[in-house]
Chain A
Amino acid sequence: MRKRKLHKAIIKSLLALLIIAIHVSPFYVLIMMSLKTRRDFSSRWLPPAAATFDNYTLALKGGDLMQSILNTAIIVLIATTFIIVIGAMSGYPLARYGTKFSKTLSLLLLGVMMVPPLSVLVPLYRELVLINGLNTFWGIIILSITYGLPTSVFMYTNFIHTIPVALDEAALLDGCSKYAIFFRIIMPSLKPVTASVAILTGINIWNDYSFQLYVLQKPKLRTITLMLRSFFAEGNTNLNAAAAASCIAILPLIVIYLFLSKYFVQGVVDSAVK
């Protein structure tokens, strides 16, 4: 019996090693490339004879990459803050009042989650030109808020459903208005889901390419994804610097993940549409 258990553990570990090997290899190759010189023609699987960080200094040279990281951070922070505030505000009445209007609204918001950005980008672009939102941070921020909101509203609605209504009723008897209930009873208990909403929607904006491609067309306003695109653009022969730039772009995500992995996993489970 014990022997069988040991066998099982060995097989499981071997399978796990195989899975790790498959999933790690492209990232391993990326890192090796970022540490090699342009003239190093050894196999990409081999580590460099002497690791060099020249590619990283080259990728960071001129400050364009840092500027793009800063731009992205600004957009993500502002948009996510609004997504949280507006999302929580909308989630409360949608969870508590089953009026026809609130039910219709919930359904429509679910629909917006399915809209492929590219299918509306031509008219959105035209609209932004009309309201002078092209090549502005507020233009991209307002689009990021709009298309990030449905997820946020959905997660808050689900979460508020789990807060006992008895608390609301007690507060109402004590003379609290319906609005005050939100600020005094509901808001203080939203912390755990807020962390998940922030991470999930924040990462989506950090990773966005389609909206940013259309709204931010000036080099100074470039975000990380747009910057990476220029690193890999045709005609650029320095793939090692492009690999270094990619590593720099991935690094913040890994750092955030290692500190907040609990909320990442919870976020995926919470945001799942049922």
Chain B
Amino acid sequence: MFKKKAGVATDNQVVLVMTAPAVILMIVFVAIPLVMGVQISLTDWNGYSQNSNYIGLANYTKLFSDPMFMRAFRNTVIYGFGSTLFQTILGVLYALLLQRAFVLRGLTRTIVYLPAMIAQLLVGYVWYFMVQYNRGALNDLVMLLGGTKLDWLGEGNRAVLIIMIINTLNFCGKAMIIYIAGLNSIPDMYYEAASVDGANGWQQFWNITMPQLIPAITTSTLLNLIGGLKMFGLVISTTGGGPGYSTHSLSSLINTLYFSYQDAGYASAVGVVTFVFIMAVSIVIRWYLAKKEAAAQ
């Protein structure tokens, strides 16, 4: 495209010069910490002392027999994949309802979307007033209906589900926006042609809408999945990882191991595993969805 002339910068030179600030930042604050993280994970460093001992892979072998890690890993999978599944369902349903104009469309879109702007930590505090045991708003409703008060976050498994539901409800607005954009890009004539052929609404949904939405599904799935697997602030503000350690995500577990247990070496090992896990999941999902996308075209 561009011919080389004497004294004119080559393509590679331009790339190198103009991306230099970004590249330097990535090396210093992403690449180096990742390498340091692996190094620290091979030691018994406590996070503040000058001394630490090399202990090989001991931190990694410990992971698989550590119930705290296994639990946090399981929870992270639930937070990530569970939220993504429900955000996709809610997102598509909301988008179908709110794509075409009617009286409440603008208001409903805004109300669903606005909370997705708020910090995870703050969202947890907002919901705390709903799910508290004493005087919580949900328990008020339960008692009004004649039930007995429930300690919503008092039991580990239930608390994990509730955190996942809060995450879903609060952040499904982003998925909705992506699906509305996806629906808007489907040409009307597809539906007109299908009507002429006598396809009913349900058939049109499965044979036109869903295949055409696959690029939007790829996009929102990745966004939600990465968001859910990184879950941190919401766990901190709702349960702080408790009761016991039953609701920790991998991120909040790292935080606890570092600050409360002062086990920086082990926290780093969990960090390395978390990083590898999220990378692997994203790569596999992207590859899988790209294949689907290609098949749909």
A residues near B, CB below 8 A?
A: 9, 12-13, 15-17, 19-20, 22-27, 29-30, 33, 41, 43-45, 86-87, 89-90, 92-94, 97, 99, 101-102, 105, 108-109, 111-124, 126-127, 142-143, 145-147, 149, 153, 165, 169, 172, 177-179, 182, 203, 206-210, 213, 224-225, 228-229, 232, 239, 242-243, 246, 249-250, 253-254, 257, 261, 264-265, 268-269, 272-274
B239 sits at the interface (CB 8 A): no
Of the listed stretches B1-9, B81-89, B146-154, name the one at the interface; the rest are far from the partner chain.
B1-9
- Contact in complex: A116, B29 (CB < 8 Å): no
- Contact in complex: B14, A179 (CB < 8 Å): yes
- Contact in complex: A123, B111 (CB < 8 Å): no
With A44-B140, A120-B275, A127-B32 already in contact, 18 other A-B pairs whose C-beta atoms are closer than 8 Å: A12-B102, A16-B107, A19-B108, A25-B130, A89-B22, A112-B26, A114-B282, A119-B37, A120-B30, A120-B34, A123-B33, A123-B36, A169-B2, A207-B119, A228-B125, A239-B129, A257-B114, A274-B215
In whole angstroms, what is the CA distance A24 to B271 when docked? 36
In whole angstroms, what is the CA distance A257 to B173 when docked? 14
Given known pairs A19-B108, A149-B25, A269-B177, the reply for A26 and B126 (CB within 8 Å) is yes
Given known pairs A44-B135, A118-B254, A122-B258, the reply for A94 and B232 (CB within 8 Å) is no
- Contact in complex: A122, B47 (CB < 8 Å): yes
- 6 tightest A-B CB contacts, nearest first: A207-B119, A123-B36, A118-B251, A119-B271, A272-B219, A16-B104
B156 sits at the interface (CB 8 A): no
- Contact in complex: B25, A124 (CB < 8 Å): no
- Contact in complex: A229, B121 (CB < 8 Å): yes
B295 sits at the interface (CB 8 A): no
- Interface residue count for B (Cβ, 8 Å)? 95
In whole angstroms, what is the CA distance A203 to B274 when docked? 25
Contacts A/B (CB < 8 Å), 17 sampled: A25-B130, A26-B127, A45-B140, A90-B18, A105-B15, A118-B271, A119-B250, A120-B30, A122-B271, A123-B268, A126-B40, A145-B25, A207-B120, A254-B114, A257-B110, A268-B178, A273-B222
Given known pairs A12-B102, A115-B275, A117-B230, the reply for A246 and B122 (CB within 8 Å) is yes
> In chain B between 232 and 271, which residues have their CB closer than 8 angstroms to a CB of chain A?
232-233, 236-237, 250-252, 254-255, 258, 264, 267-268, 270-271
- Contact in complex: A41, B14 (CB < 8 Å): no
In whole angstroms, what is the CA distance A118 to B270 when docked? 10
Cβ-closest chain B residue relative to A199: B117
Mostly, the A contact residues are helix
Mostly, the B contact residues are helix
Cβ-closest chain A residue relative to B47: A122
Given known pairs A101-B15, A122-B254, the reply for A153 and B22 (CB within 8 Å) is yes
Given known pairs A99-B15, A228-B121, the reply for A209 and B275 (CB within 8 Å) is no
- Set A89, A243, A264: member contacting B129, Cβ < 8 A: A243
B279 sits at the interface (CB 8 A): yes
Contact string, B271-284, partner A, CB cutoff 8 A, digits 1/0? 11011001100100
B208 sits at the interface (CB 8 A): no
- Contact in complex: B115, A165 (CB < 8 Å): no
The minimal Cβ–Cβ distance linking A65 to chain B, given in whole angstroms, is 13
- Contact in complex: A29, B36 (CB < 8 Å): no
In whole angstroms, what is the CA distance A250 to B275 when docked? 31
In the complex, chain A residues whose CB is within 8 Å of the CB of B30: 112, 115, 120, 146-147
- Set B21, B127, B128, B233: member contacting A209, Cβ < 8 A: B233
Specify which of B8, B9, B25, B102 lies most central, judged by the most chain A CB atoms within 10 Å of its CB.
B25
- Contact in complex: B23, A246 (CB < 8 Å): no
Cβ-closest chain A residue relative to B128: A232
- Set B47, B219, B232, B237: member contacting A232, Cβ < 8 A: B237
Given known pairs A24-B111, A97-B15, A120-B37, the reply for A246 and B125 (CB within 8 Å) is yes
Given known pairs A20-B108, A210-B251, the reply for A93 and B1 (CB within 8 Å) is no
B97 sits at the interface (CB 8 A): yes
- Contact in complex: B29, A146 (CB < 8 Å): yes
In the complex, chain B residues whose CB is within 8 Å of the CB of A272: 178, 219-220, 223
- Set A87, A92, A225, A243: member contacting B119, Cβ < 8 A: A225
Given known pairs A20-B108, A124-B33, A232-B237, the reply for A13 and B103 (CB within 8 Å) is yes
